[in-house]
């Protein structure tokens, strides 16, 4: 019999999907790693599993213990599913500005959910600092203790991407991958995959696709950490400081990509290839197209399809919301 023993075994080993339209347009083979097929429906299930397993190995997470994390939502969803499966509990701190669908999902899964204002990183009430504070509170009073997952600086995040996502991409392409591009939330995916691919072949070209208003395209382009112009509605990506995971990334190309440039890729994918993805996937695909233009036709470029579009139906696929932001509206919703 071929069976999965538990939900952890459903994480990873996702297919590499040929993205037809952008491949035809660029003359490259552009492939998307179908991370939306993970049980929590995002790339962040891998991070959640990597952090939990590392904490178990280090003896930091006791049976029955609590895992606390600040998240844009997807890591919280992964951590909560895994906490339920492995006998832990989870506390999730999230900015109130994140999509209603992610908040609903976390409530559905039974997370101890704390919504906080969307403030700057320097504010002590920022969701990351709130998570650290709550983890300390819980550690002091819960019978089995609590840990703070620290996905931004915890290198277990990039390590699971190095050992799974990156190795899978190398195997699935028979080592014929020429480039890899993704956006950054914590930097776990970019650092892990770039480390794995460059260990196999240092010539593999790595690109960061940064949403408008984020600072990493300038950081990797010029060494200076300053935000690009504009802002972005894409959730889970776009940061203005160098995290512990970002510091491990090996990057050759950096672009700032506007929502107006990225969204048509998302709408075209849904309308003509039957795939409904979230906003960070649009930034990633736009980045893959930019790398294809730099490398020229005939190359193989991989990116990440991070999560499903229905997680953002009230924003990305809402004509009123999009029109208010002066963003393109999908033709079939433009009524």
CB-wise, 44 or 315, nearer to ligand PMP? Answer: 44
Return the range that interacts with ligand PMP (CB under 6 A); candidates 58-66, 186-194, 253-261, 317-325: 186-194
280 binds ligand PMP (CB under 6 A): yes
Please calculate the CA angle 196-284-33 and round it to the nearest 5 degrees.
55
Torsion-angle region of residue 32: left (phi > 0), alpha (psi -120 to 50) or beta? beta
Smallest distance, ligand PMP to C-beta of residue 66, A: 21
How many amino acids of this chain bind ligand PMP (CB under 6 A)? 19
Could you tell me the maximum CA-CA distance found in the chain, to the nearest angstrom? Answer: 59
277 binds ligand PMP (CB under 6 A): no
Residue 177 class from Cβ within 10 Å (0-12 exposed, 13-18 middle, 19+ buried)? buried
Q: Which of 237, 266, 282, 291 binds ligand PMP (CB under 6 A)?
A: 237
Please calculate the CA angle 259-76-122 and round it to the nearest 5 degrees.
65
Catalytic residue among 44, 102, 290, 315: 44
Q: Is-catalytic flag, 325?
A: no
Report how far apart, in Å, the C-alpha atoms of 268 and of each of 30, 107, 273, 328 are. 15, 32, 7, 12
Residue 163 class from Cβ within 10 Å (0-12 exposed, 13-18 middle, 19+ buried)? middle
Binding to ligand PMP by CB under 6 A, coded x per residue (else -) over 67-96, reads -----x-x----------------------
Angle between helices 74-86 and 44-57 (to 10 degrees): 50
Q: Which of 12, 179, 213, 236 binds ligand PMP (CB under 6 A)?
A: 236
Q: Which of 188, 211, 244, 309 binds ligand PMP (CB under 6 A)?
A: 188
Binding to ligand PMP by CB under 6 A, coded x per residue (else -) over 120-159, reads ----------------------------------------
- Per-residue tokens: 214: 């984020």
Using CB atoms, what's the residue nearest to ligand PMP? 236
44 binds ligand PMP (CB under 6 A): yes
Tell me the β-bridge partners of 30: 301
What are the backbone angles phi and psi of residue 94, rounded to the nearest 5°? -145, 140
Return the range that interacts with ligand PMP (CB under 6 A); candidates 121-129, 131-139, 188-196, 266-274: 188-196
Separation CA 102–CA 73 (nearest Å): 6
The residues carrying an active-site annotation are 44
The residue ranges that bind ligand PMP (CB under 6 A) are 42-44, 72, 74, 183-190, 236-237, 278, 280, 306-307
């Amino acid at each position: 019999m071929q069976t999965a023993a538990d939900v952890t075994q459903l994480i990873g080993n996702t297919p590499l999907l040929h993205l037809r339209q952008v491949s035809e347009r660029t003359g490259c083979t552009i492939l998307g790693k179908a991370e939306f097929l993970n049980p929590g429906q995002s790339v962040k299930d891998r991070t959640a599993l990597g952090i939990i397993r590392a904490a178990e190995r280090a003896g930091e997470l006791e049976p029955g213990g609590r895992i606390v994390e600040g998240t844009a939502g997807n890591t919280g969803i992964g951590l909560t599913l895994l906490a339920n499966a492995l006998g832990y509990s989870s506390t999730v701190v999230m900015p109130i500005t994140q999509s209603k669908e992610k908040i609903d999902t976390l409530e559905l899964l039974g997370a101890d959910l704390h919504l906080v204002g969307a403030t700057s990183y320097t504010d002590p009430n920022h969701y990351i600092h709130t998570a650290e504070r709550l983890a300390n509170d819980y550690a002091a009073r819960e019978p089995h203790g609590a840990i703070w997952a620290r996905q931004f600086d915890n290198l277990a995040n990039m390590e699971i991407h190095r050992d799974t996502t990156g190795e899978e991409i190398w195997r699935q392409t028979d080592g014929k991958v020429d480039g890899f591009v993704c956006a950054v939330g914590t930097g776990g995916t970019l650092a892990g995959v770039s480390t794995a691919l460059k260990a196999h072949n240092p010539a593999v070209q790595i690109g960061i696709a940064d949403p408008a208003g984020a600072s990493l395209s300038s950081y990797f382009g010029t060494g200076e950490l300053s935000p690009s112009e504009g802002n972005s509605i894409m959730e889970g990506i776009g940061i203005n400081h160098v995290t512990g995971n970002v510091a491990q990334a090996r990057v050759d190309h950096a672009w700032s990509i506007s929502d107006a440039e990225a969204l048509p890729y998302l709408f075209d994918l849904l309308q003509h290839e039957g795939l409904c993805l979230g906003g960070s996937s649009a930034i990633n695909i736009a980045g893959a197209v930019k790398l294809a233009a730099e490398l020229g036709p005939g190359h193989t470029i991989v990116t990440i399809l991070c999560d499903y579009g229905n997680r953002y139906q009230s924003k990305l696929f809402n004509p009123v919301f999009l029109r208010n932001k002066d963003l393109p509206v999908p033709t079939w919703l433009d009524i």
